[in-house]
Amino acid sequence: MKAPVISAWFGRGQVAAPPEIESAALRSDRFRLEREGDWRRLEAILARMEQGGLRRIADDDLIALPALYRTAASSLSVARETSLDAATLAYLEALVQRAWFQVYGPRQGFVRWLRGFLLGGWSRAVRALWLDISIALFVMVAGVIVGWLLVARDEAWYYRLFPAGMGETRVPGATREQLLASLANAESAAGLAGFAAQLFSNNSAVCILAFALGFAFGIPSLMLLVHNLALLGALLWLFDTQGLVVELAAWLSVHGTTELFGILLSGAAGLHIGRAMAFPGKRGVLDAAAAAGRRSAVVMVGVVIMMIVAALLEAFPRQLVEGTGARFLIGGTMLTFWLAYFILYRPALPTEDAALPQGPA
Amino acid sequence: MSRRAARAPAADKRARTLVTPEGLALPITIAPRSARAGALVIDVTIIVAGLVAFQLVIRRIADGMLGGTGFDPDAMPPPALEFLGIVFALFVFAVWYGYFLVQELGPRGATLGKRITGIRVAARGGARLTPEAVIARNLLRDIEIFYPLIALLVFAVTAQNGEDIGLLGWAVTGWFALFLLLPFFNRDALRAGDIVAGTWVVKRPDARLAPVLSAQGAAAAEGASTLTGVRYDFGEAELSVYGEKELQTLERMLRDSPPDALRAVHATICRKIGWDPGAGDERAFLEAFYAQLRAKLEADMRFGKRKADKHS
């Protein structure tokens, strides 16, 4: 730690050759000199691993790593009982810790993890959250009903939910033709890709918010769900006044089955954390929160993927495909796909040995 | 544990023990909050600088395409401009989340800022750091810091325009303060993301192997000074004055203290063991004393006798 920082940036420099073992007057120092070569080799391997991953390491070194790690660990426990050399003990402690981070570090890189995630990890995580998903679904349905009832009782609520902008045709009192026009498809594909990118970053931000708010015992997540779905309820009521609710549902279903499913999952993920913190059970609050957090993080990565799909659907097919039947067909297909993927797709859980690379163990 | 931590000095308060699967207890140090704040500032600066640079490039390309008419987002974008917009939106998203994820999942377990401040992410309690944990801790960073900051900025602008924002501003400030101060209210300095992910941030282990003290100078030559040839030989009574704590203090001084400090130590030890302090050969004296004291204490250690310091 006292070494100048700059030198650490430009490699370790030459290591001086250790003195002859016989020259050391103390037994504990001879112990150290006998093993120093192994420690230095371990240190060199670790430095290369930390710099550039596994590819730059010779196979021999990689095979030797676990053995070198155990050598250093046993050196440390012997040194603790026989040596009073504080500098050597500190070095060994740091060395073993660094080796521990590599030997017991993240086994998979991001790409490898993503593969396991798509091939089973995601649907497994979703199924693990079934209770939270049921609760979130209930809350979402309740949100739609609340939105509908509020607006049906008092039209002023509609303006409170949707602060009306200039030129907005979707307001109470709009004619059937105006509403139908808002559901019509766009003339051409120009501008839709940019629209999709915008939608994607916006929607995934909302989903990440719903997830992260679960930290406050899940209540804000549920409130966010109620609010978003109340908007939907109000919109449904508005189109119902002109008998257009089926057309609206078709228009929404193209991307909505994916997007609402994603929102449902993120709300459930947030709720899962909140529930674990409010009712940790036998474990400590911290442990329970950590276990729940890791499970829901997996679901959240999936939600981001769903949002990409939803944004693409929203920008292209929804704007380009006309006709209630065709729209329902796309939305229904997506819904079936997601349900099948989450519920029916159950690949065998990879065993610990098969899932992890051989080598450092 | 907590009572002991209360009495210990600040550095010890951050000391934790990690037990490896081999059953070996390793000391580990929680990263100081200042280092973590510094790392975050560095990382955000890098991200923002990168995004600004990328936007300038995009804008330059767009300018070139519009033939010098300027960047006008309101104009109906031709497909090329639209493509640039998409590239930018996706780039922002990928950088914002990818920067932390990819680096913390790497073998160093640290972003560039964390590497510069000498800290890294680890799983709490000696478990394996998993991708899920890294994802969870980074998703929460948004609600801890960035959403409230952006909300406050928006409110500040709204308030400037003369609109009343009421209690909302205070609520967001409270939210911001709550998460920002969370690391100060638990022993392990966990932020909300660490709690949810089961991680903590620790100091990166970093120590170099120091030279062997007993193989150099008077310690190696059986107490004989290379300068004067005098042999320093200490008796049982003289070596029983000090314990391990003093030995390791002496070791530290022999390794990196200037001669002035060694002179003072020399005088103190001579007074303590009743020798007449000479001058000019302090280093050899201390090396010999160190080697012989350590030989005695280590021999006792092998028989299970330990002497922690001079009082015991």
> Do B221 and B125 share a structural domain?
no
Residue among A70, A90, A109 whose CB faces B22 most closely = A70
The reported pTM is 0.76
Residue A195 or residue B49, greater confidence: B49
What number of residues does chain A have?
Answer: 361
Task: Tell me which of B169, B185, B203 is where a domain ends.
Answer: B203
* Range of weakest confidence among A183-197, A305-319, A342-356, B128-142: A183-197
Claim to verify: residue A70 and residue A141 sit in the same structural domain? no
Residues of A in contact with B82 (CB under 8 A): 190-191, 193-194
Average the pLDDT over A36-54 and give the result: 84
Q: Do A132 and A219 belong to one domain?
A: yes
For residue A125, is it within any domain? Answer: yes
Q: Say whether pLDDT at B2 is over 80.
A: no
- Which residues of A fall within a CB distance of 8 Å from B139? 208, 211-212, 297, 300
Largest CA distance in chain A: 100
Residues A60 and A190 grouped into a single domain? no
Task: Please report, rounded to a whole number, the percentage of residues in chain A having pLDDT higher than 70.
Answer: 79
> Mean per-residue pLDDT for A26-31?
82
B147 interface with A at CB cutoff 8 Å: yes
Do A191 and B140 count as a contact with CB atoms less than 8 A apart? no
pLDDT at res. B165: 67
Residue B312 located in a structural domain: no
Say yes or no for a CB contact (<8 Å) between A24 and B82: no
Q: Is residue A110 within 8 angstroms of chain B, CB to CB? A: yes
Residue B3 has pLDDT above 50, yes or no: no
Say whether pLDDT at A109 is over 70. no
Position B308 in a domain: no
Do the domain assignments include residue A4?
no
- Pairwise CA distance, residues B191 & B197, whole Å: 10
What is the model's pLDDT at position B53? 93
Instruction: Report the residue from B131, B219, B248 with minimal CB separation from A108.
Output: B131
State whether B130 and B151 are in the same domain: yes
- Interval B158-184: pLDDT, tens: 778 777 666 777 877 888 888 888 888
* Enclosing domain of residue A278: 111-344
CA separation for the pair B151, A223 (Å, rounded): 18
Q: Which of B203, B228, B247 is the last residue of a domain?
A: B203
Q: Are A148 and A294 members of one domain?
A: yes
Best A93, A294, A303 residue to mutate vs chain B (most B CBs within 10 Å)? A294
> Do A191 and A335 have their domain in common?
yes
Nearest CA in chain B to A361: B21
Percent above pLDDT 70 for chain B: 85
Please report the residues numbered 65 through 84 in chain B whose beta carbons come closer than 8 angstroms to any beta carbon of chain A.
76-77, 79, 82-83
Asked if residue A97 and residue A169 are part of one domain, the reply reads no
Under an 8 A CB cutoff, do A91 and B255 touch? no
Of all residues in chain B, the percent with pLDDT exceeding 90 is 11
Whether B102 and chain A come into contact, CB under 8 Å, resolves to yes
> What is the pLDDT averaged over residues B146-168?
77
Q: Which of A60-69, A90-99, B69-78 has the lowest mean pLDDT?
A: B69-78
- The answer to whether residues B250 and B190 touch, using CB atoms and an 8 Å cutoff, is no
| Chain-chain contact of B214 with A298 (C-beta, under 8 angstroms) | no
B182 and B33 in one domain? Answer: yes
Chain B hits for A301, Cβ within 8 Å: 135
**What integer is the mean pLDDT of B125-136?**
83
- Domain shared by B255 and B295, yes or no: yes
pLDDT average, residue stretch A84-113: 83
Number of domains in chain A: 2
Q: Is A19 an interface residue toward B (CB < 8 Å)?
A: yes
pLDDT single digits (tens) B242-252: 888 888 888 88
CB of A101 less than 8 A from some CB of B: yes
Domain presence at residue A65:
yes
B37 confidence band (pLDDT: 50, 70, 90):
very high
DSSP chain B: -HHHHHHS-HHHHTEEEEE-TTS-EEEEEBPPHHHHHHHHHHHHHHHHHHHHHHHHHHHHHHHHHTTTS---TTS---HHHHHHHHHHHHHHHHHHHHHHHHHHHSTT---HHHHHHTEEEEEGGG----HHHHHHHHHHHIIIIIHHHHHHHHHHHHHHTT---TTHHHHHHHHHHHHHHGGGGSTT---HHHHHHTEEEEEPP--PPPPPGGGSHHHHTTTB-TTT-PBP---HHHHTS--HHHHHHHHHHHHH--HHHHHHHHHHHHHHHT----SS-HHHHHHHHHHHHHHHHHHHHHTT----STT-
Closest by alpha carbon to B132, among A49, A274, A108, A261? A108
Q: Is A168 on the interface with B (CB under 8 A)?
A: no
ipTM of the complex: 0.81
Question: Which of B151, B169, B203 is the last residue before a domain boundary?
Answer: B203
A355 lies in a domain?
no
**Residues within 8 A of A (CB atoms), B 248-307 only:** 248, 251-252, 255-256, 291, 294-295, 297-298, 301-302
Q: What is the pLDDT of residue A231?
A: 82
Per-residue DSSP letter, A120 = I
Is residue B309 situated within a structural domain? Answer: no
Q: What is the mean pLDDT of chain A?
A: 79
pLDDT at B47: 93
- CA pair distance A239, B253, nearest whole angstrom: 83
Q: Tens of pLDDT along A260-304? A: 899 899 889 989 988 888 888 888 888 888 888 888 888 888 888
Contact A25 B214 (CB under 8 A): yes
The pLDDT value recorded for residue B281 is 76
Q: Indicate the number of domains in chain B.
A: 2
Q: How far is A7 from chain B (nearest CA, A)?
A: 13
> In the listed set A40, A73, A103, which residue is the last one of a domain according to the structure?
A103
In a shared domain, residues B14 and B38: yes
Pair A301, A158 in one domain: yes
Determine contact: A216 vs chain B, CB below 8 A: no
CA distance B141 to chain A (A): 9
**B62 domain-assigned:** yes
In the 8-state DSSP scheme, what is residue A339? H
Q: Would you say residue B173 lies in a domain?
A: yes
At B220 the pLDDT is: 63
Q: Does A322 fall in a domain? A: yes
A225-239, B132-146, B273-287, range with the lowest pLDDT: B273-287
For position B40, what pLDDT does the model report?
92
In a domain, A78, yes or no: yes
Q: What is the pLDDT of residues A159-217, one digit of tens each?
A: 777 765 555 667 777 777 777 777 665 555 555 666 666 666 677 777 877 887 777 77
Query: Does the pLDDT at position B55 exceed 60?
Result: yes
Residue type for A346, please? R
Q: Is residue A352 part of a domain?
A: no
Do residues B283 and B134 share a domain? Answer: no
pLDDT digits (tens, 9 = 90+) for B211-258: 877 767 666 666 666 666 677 778 777 788 888 888 888 888 888 888
Same domain, residue pair B80 and B197? yes
Q: Does B163 touch chain A (CB under 8 A)?
A: no
Q: Token pair 């095979």 is at which residue?
A: A63
Instruction: Say if residue A99 is in the same domain as residue A120.
Output: no
Output the pLDDT for position A214. Answer: 78
Q: Same domain for B22 and B101?
A: yes
Is the residue at B44 inside a domain? yes
Residues A129 and A86 in one domain: no
B310 assigned to some structural domain: no
Range of the domain at B284: 213-302
Interval A50-72 mean pLDDT: 82
Share the mean pLDDT of chain B.
80
Look at residue A360 and tell me if it is in a domain.
Answer: no
Put simply, whether A38 touches B (Cβ < 8 Å) is no
What SS3 state is found at A113?
Answer: helix
Q: For residues A85 and A119, state if they share a domain.
A: no
Q: Which of A63-77, A153-167, B170-184, B297-311 has the highest mean pLDDT?
A: A63-77
Whether residues A131 and A198 fall in one domain: yes
Q: In this complex, do A213 and B143 lie within 8 Å of one another by their Cβ atoms?
A: yes
Q: Is B24 on the interface with A (CB under 8 A)?
A: yes
CA distance A290 to chain B (A): 4
Instruction: Give the end of a domain, one of A54, A79, A103.
Output: A103
pLDDT at A352: 47
Do B124 and B257 lie in a common domain? no
Place A33 in a pLDDT band, splitting at 50, 70 and 90.
confident
